[in-house]
Chains A and B, each alone.
Chain A
Amino acid sequence: MTGTLAPAITCHDVTVKFGDFVALSDVNLSFERGLVHAVVGQNGAGKTTLARVAAGLIRPDSGRISIDGKPLALGNVRESRKAGVELVHQSFALPPSFAIAEAMEFGADRFGPAFSSRGLRKRWSAHLKSFGIAADLSARIRDLPIETQQSVEIARALVNDASILILDEPTAVLSPSGVEALFERVRGLKKNGITVILVLHKIREVLAIADTVSVLRGGRLIAAAVPAASLTPMDLADQIVGSETGVTDADDAAALVGAAPSRHAGMRAEARSAVPVLALSKVATAPDVDGPALADVTLRVHPGEIVGVAGVEGNGQKTLVRAIAGLTAARAGAIELTGLDVTGTDLGTRRRLGLSIIPFERNSEGLSLTSSLWENWSVKRLLADPLLTFIRPAALRSDSDEAMKRWDVRYRHAGQPAGSLSGGNAQKLVFSREVDDEARLVIAAQPTRGLDVGATAFVWQALRAARDRGAGVLLISSDLDELFDISDRLIVMLSGRIVADVVPPFSLAAVGAAMTGAGA
């Protein structure tokens, strides 16, 4: 058999276990060379694990992989790279203090082991130019905009002559036009004979770019490199979710396909006239590490409405949440909660007025993973009283038990660490703490990121319930489908400003244009 006939990469019976958890189970799959292959599935289906096995970062418990028909030594990144397999991670992996040229060099082996600082830039300028990266080669990774960072990551992956490039969730951080540019690049790579494997979870994107589609569910392979042309979105959704009855719930379908069912509450007249739960007027902040400064932000959230915040990540959404929380000082303008001026007050004061926050980073800002469930749950009420208040841990435990049961958190006992919960249950724990009857304004920042379809639907229902109870909800998401589906109104952020404020029916073209500033 000649090399050209063999598939680019073949997995034979690949199984990966983490403790008792089976991440991949007997996966048999082969990818033809020179095509674009998509691997899809829900969070936790094993997509990333499969990518990391191919890249040599994870050693499978059993099974074999061959590249171009030749067996690959497993669990060894060096061997995988030698065989031509390169992986670009979802959360990029380059040392932030490195200059671009250094980031290229440290993983390469095509030049000598030593260099001068000018020689290093000369080594890599042509390579980077071929990827359209115009940035100064001594610029540091941490100072690059996110789309440039991704380009640098892809350039880094191709420093040695890779023949198989795996991109893990590359679209998660991009705007619609960024996604288009990425797909254009992927087609270019394909033209150069590179086999591209895309780990994705949006069906719309999959069908736009992939030649074949493979579906993973719970670590099992459901569909192996099926030609994309033969699939309809609903087929694919059924395969990804895989309930026996198929995708019946509208929310489930929306989470996957992005077909937004129209269920907007429509602003009630009395809500429109009520005192807004949140009112920002001409708020400006200093820039911080998370993104640009807010400039002239005016925003109102009324009781009984869900206001969505769209925008490419890093355009001030984090600063907006921090400003509302009082964790970033407003340099100018005023912030009101339930009609009271809270500019300059601390988060404790604001929380007492009914501010609830589901923060961006569930695992760092939302929960202390190594602390127990009851501690995580009780912290909010403990902080409402002076710190030297006498407590009874047993009472706190039973209160937290009760609340978690009410929110359907699946756990063994209240003393187990929060880190032992699955993503969906951890988010339910956060909701059980934050979204109570006293919540007047709920800020939900990326509340469904990393959750599977069921947990996503749960979060949406919880947000709608809060709205229906009369709370205001500010929902920040980078998933336009999600925003379109449940927002009653949508604002778009760009470079720390609000550049659009739209009501349903939402238009993807218009919002997408606003996100990149093309609409202006």
Chain B
Amino acid sequence: MADLQRLEDTLKRDGGQVRDAGPEDAVDGVPATAVARPVSADGVAAVLRETTAQGLATVARGAGTALDWGAPPERVDLILDTTGLDRLVEHGSGDLVVVAEAGLPVATLAETVRAAGQELVVDLPPERLAAGSTVGGALSTGASGPRRLQRGGIRDLVLGATVVLADGTVASSGGKVVKNVAGYDLAKLLTGAYGTLGIVVRAAFRLHPVRPDRAFVVATGPSADVAARARGVVGSQLAPAAVELDRPVGSEVAEVAVLLEGTGGAVGQRAAAVVEILGGRVQGEPPEWWAALPGAEVSTGSTRGGGDVTYAKATATLTGVADLLAAAQDAEQRYGVGVALRGSAGGVLHAAVTGTPEATAAAVGHLRGAASSPREGTVTVLRASREVRAALDAWGPVGGLDLMRAIKSRLDPGRNVAPGRFVGGI
């Protein structure tokens, strides 16, 4: 490990800190040498200028709730802890816009904008939210929750971002207005990039007014049947805010929960119309699995040390969702694995696969096969043990990989930020 003294001197000036890393700072099993906690974008820039000049590898960390998503980095010299950048920069309530630093917990942001009757519709898994998941973490992992069906994913809500590149360049794109087509939309490029293009230090998001009324319609039945009825709701004129499916491990039945949001009592009428399509019952509260990652019941929190649960993100066309559910059941029978599947009938779901590395690899392959081509659906592994990663192709086929490599090479030519964490070894 090279000279950290200069880093420390630089950071001290604006209140940041550097310390030696401990075992708890390892990133998915890859040990780190030091942890820097700057408190400003300039501090982040100073850190990266210094570490990159020394040829070191830096990995950003927010609350660390999804630090073991994506491939483990090839090497980690420095952890850049973003939680010192935790200011809510601006809440333009009349403009339905919020600007926040990357280290601000999403829950804190939510609390602030809630006071004005507004919300950032990212619907993080409750376990991540409770553990302090940050704005930068939610953006960098491309978080996806139930209401993206109607409001879009986080990439559709982000209006602008400021990133610090590996060489310390501080660059902004977009802005803080809802409508803006000036320049490249680099905020989208940074979304879901797992910190491999630079370290996001600030982002602006579009907010929505909280809808005062809501109702859930919940129904259960054979997977194929439930999937077909869920698709009927997605294709209706009832404007569901979310249509979520849950298929537990080893189950031939699935549950569907539809969220309706609105004003002035109209929600009740729509809920009744949804019941006509779906069957089931109307309730005021979501089912307990709502927005959570699947398979919590089998993980017992042991995954961090390289346990046996593999988490994946699965995408599909609307009609392909039923195929994915069928493939889950099929994979269980063929390979002796457990496959829990949960997510939006709009075609973005999460899977939890339990089994040996070989069986898990076979099951992931089988889930991929549910779509006739990668353009119709993909399965990417988010979190897995070393053994499972060694047994499978975590990302699957990636369209435009050469362009992605070129972007990485232009923005981080020395591979100094989060090397190896992304598709194709980026």
Q: Do A and B bind each other?
A: no
* Residues of A participating in the B interface, judged by any CB pair closer than 8 Å: none
Interface residue ranges, B against A (CB under 8 Å): none
